[in-house]
Structure 1
């Protein structure tokens, strides 16, 4: 394969981004101006493509016995969905209005809960305004569904046009300005889609090592000098499927979450915010891979001296809001029927070799899975210091993973390195018969 020079790679990335924007914007125009006949042709084309992909998966499953079950299941879903779309061509638009309405109304409730949580901490936030906007928009799409309006067509068209326009504008910004700190317009996928991105990446890594067990993952070891690392976690286990995020700076790793099981409320979505800090990067990675069965996607950011000082000042203010949390159970062997959250805290303290803290004040005193979560914590530190990393609304680890990957591909970005850690390429140590956690596996 021909290796492009750095300058050629930059121009190639810019051209690819611009052309993607043109195609996306044109698709939005087409959807907006399409006649009913065009719409039905698009529906039948979509159904045909789905059916074709379904039969393609049957063929792949027939060839690969080890993946047969997975391919056959996907084939059945795709073929049934294709037949369903052809049978009810008017349903997709009507259902889309309902789905958008439900999503916006739930978002309104999520923002409202976040507003009341932050109000208790005497912290100002955009949550109330976002809640009102989401409520109004949700009611509009619900009325659209009830009265069979085609409002969803304008939503889809507008989304594609804004998305395409932002890609074209970002490409032109990169072309004429080489400064990595030029602010970019970021159009995110809905959080309900973004949250599945870590799991999709995990499946891709596992599939690679399953097909090529003796070949190293080339894209996993691209390194340049960096000052700030963001860790995105992916796992198949429980809530970990949605991912997790933490960061490392000046030799210290910071991980924020709801680690106090006794404080959990509202189906474990709300609880005391707990911060874990460690200087042992290898021990933390080994803990995540061995105990939590995760894969880590680690992105390195290059910062200016001014940005580094700003991050240090931010972390100094953070230290003023925390106090050590030293629950007694972490110093003694766990009982066999201990809650899983206690097991996690026991392991992270004893194996990742760090210190646990709780917040005595500030917005992160209370953890909220849809508000002040692990990603918001990372964004609060780096987003205030690096202009290109700023997120608004509900953000998930998948939102950050998708964003960081896009920035890493741009030659002029702050994101200069990417590493992938998994049990396939990292030494997690041999199984030990004296392992204190063996009976908890």
Structure 2
């Protein structure tokens, strides 16, 4: 997708060239980590030692100057751990390998859930997800119980990620600088990205105390050749993890496991429900119910607008109108009931076929629907883990605001 923005300034060109050089350094660093095993582990060891020493010094300072006895316990605990760490040549390897093993087992569970959903919907991929789950579980147990002997697996994972990050960044820079196309980005690590919305909510509350004028309160619908991408978050509960929606031509497109009568109690999976209707009503309701809403506005070319409309149509053609039984919930306990009770101009749809038929909190979630629509513009967020998070998408969009070659022109924040 060609970028139709203004010509780059000298400063922007210099920034893109520096970004390309940084990409080369990432690739070299990734390869060094893969082929020079000890460099990574020495860095981890001395990094831990430095953190523990800094913790001890800080705690002792606070103990004497702030007269906080709890800081003394922190200093003692950090000191004991530092002593054990320096006495054992493999403890830090076992700790890191154990954490990596737990993450691998988590991924095995994700693939297991995907296998179950594929079996439930009688769709393709059952065997592949089973093999992925088996492989991830095997690697997880290997790292947990034989981490020292198999630590090279972690070298491969970290080194490959950094090298891939550099390669994607380089390709993206070339596309922007020489081809005038929109660049892509490798997703931030899932562990960090998953908790980003909760961090944003806390940061926003703190900002509001000193700079309330930074926030908007009244939502305006998206009109013309523009696309809005919304991220919602709250301070507590499941909503801390964030939610992603698309606003286009005055309509909202919001996907989730919204049917309380056909979903798991954990909300890990359930019937996929697409909410379509008034963008202004829907987003304003979120703001009025104490939700923090981040809005990224993208400027589209006429061709991009047509591509967006085609993507939306391709999603809707596999759906059917869902008559939600709000009479079963007169107290308004469930989300869809509250939307109806507040007279919002919205319709609900389910899917008779396709990947959106069943919602999966890790993979087929709100991010995947939004991403399928946004990809029509040429923007691309690469999710190598297969786990899609609103936080990763926020990180991508936030770095795209007014960036050379980007169609993301504005960021707005709404709250009460």
What TM-score comes out, normalization by structure 1 length? 0.75
What corresponds to 2:320 in structure 1? Answer: 322
**Structure 1 pair 83/137, CA: closer, same or farther in 2 (3 Å)?**
same
What corresponds to 2:248 in structure 1? Answer: 249
Q: Report the Cα offset of residue 296 of structure 1.
A: 1.2
The residue correspondences of 1:347-358 to structure 2 (distance < 5 A) are 347-351=338-342, 353-358=344-349
What corresponds to 1:188 in structure 2? Answer: 187
Please point out which of 352, 356, 363 is paired with 1:361: 352
**Structure 1 pair 144/365, CA: closer, same or farther in 2 (3 Å)?**
closer
* Structure 1 residues 40-68: Cα deviation after superposition (integer angstroms, max 9, x where no partner): 575234432465378669989999x9xxx
**Structure 1 pair 26/158, CA: closer, same or farther in 2 (3 Å)?**
same
- What SS does the aligned partner of 1:189 have? coil
What corresponds to 1:345 in structure 2? Answer: 336
What corresponds to 1:435 in structure 2? Answer: none
Equivalent pairs counted in the alignment come to 396
Q: Which moved more, 1:100-109 or 1:51-60?
A: 51-60
- What SS does the aligned partner of 1:298 have? strand
What corresponds to 1:98 in structure 2? Answer: 98
Hey, what's the Cα distance between the residues in 2 that align with 1:413 and 1:305?
16
2:215·2:412 contact (CA, 8 Å) conserved in 1?
A: no
1:228·1:303 contact (CA, 8 Å) conserved in 2?
A: yes
Q: Report the Cα offset of residue 373 of structure 1.
A: 1.2
Hey, what's the Cα distance between the residues in 2 that align with 1:8 and 1:208?
34
Hey, what's the Cα distance between the residues in 1 that align with 2:61 and 2:224?
45
Hey, what's the Cα distance between the residues in 2 that align with 1:214 and 1:232?
20
The residue correspondences of 1:345-424 to structure 2 (distance < 5 A) are 345-351=336-342, 353-362=344-353, 363-383=355-375, 386=378, 388-389=380-381, 391=383, 393-408=386-401, 410-423=403-416
2:40·2:155 contact (CA, 8 Å) conserved in 1?
A: no
Hey, what's the Cα distance between the residues in 1 that align with 2:410 and 2:63?
36
Q: Report the Cα offset of residue 196 of structure 1.
A: 0.6
Q: Report the Cα offset of residue 231 of structure 1.
A: 0.7
Q: Report the Cα offset of residue 395 of structure 1.
A: 0.4
- What SS does the aligned partner of 2:405 have? coil
Please point out which of 37, 43, 46 is paired with 1:44: 46
- What SS does the aligned partner of 2:96 have? helix
What corresponds to 1:177 in structure 2? Answer: 179
The residue correspondences of 1:4-403 to structure 2 (distance < 5 A) are 7-8=9-10, 10-11=12-13, 13-15=15-17, 17-18=19-20, 20-22=22-24, 24-25=26-27, 27-28=29-30, 31-32=33-34, 39-40=41-42, 43-49=45-51, 51-52=53-54, 84=81, 87-88=84-85, 90-124=90-124, 128-129=127-128, 132-133=131-132, 135-140=134-139, 142-147=141-146, 148-149=148-149, 150-151=151-152, 152-180=154-182, 184=184, 186-210=185-209, 212-214=210-212, 216=214, 227-265=226-264, 267-281=266-280, 283-291=281-289, 293-320=290-317, 321-329=319-327, 334-335=330-331, 339=333, 342=334, 344-351=335-342, 353-362=344-353, 363-383=355-375, 386=378, 388-389=380-381, 391=383, 393-403=386-396
1:85·1:92 contact (CA, 8 Å) conserved in 2?
A: no
1:273·1:364 contact (CA, 8 Å) conserved in 2?
A: yes
2:13·2:177 contact (CA, 8 Å) conserved in 1?
A: yes
**Structure 1 pair 47/352, CA: closer, same or farther in 2 (3 Å)?**
farther
2:187·2:382 contact (CA, 8 Å) conserved in 1?
A: no
Q: Report the Cα offset of residue 350 of structure 1.
A: 3.5
Hey, what's the Cα distance between the residues in 2 that align with 1:54 and 1:256?
48
1:322·1:358 contact (CA, 8 Å) conserved in 2?
A: yes
Gaps of 5+ in 1: 424-441
What TM-score comes out, normalization by structure 2 length? 0.79
* Structure 1 residues 384-433: Cα deviation after superposition (integer angstroms, max 9, x where no partner): 5635356461101112111222333531023222211122xxxxxxxxxx
Q: Report the Cα offset of residue 239 of structure 1.
A: 0.8
Q: Report the Cα offset of residue 370 of structure 1.
A: 1.7
2:225·2:305 contact (CA, 8 Å) conserved in 1?
A: no
**Structure 1 pair 422/43, CA: closer, same or farther in 2 (3 Å)?**
same
Cα RMSD for the two superposed structures: 4.1
Q: Report the Cα offset of residue 248 of structure 1.
A: 0.9
Hey, what's the Cα distance between the residues in 2 that align with 1:279 and 1:57?
53
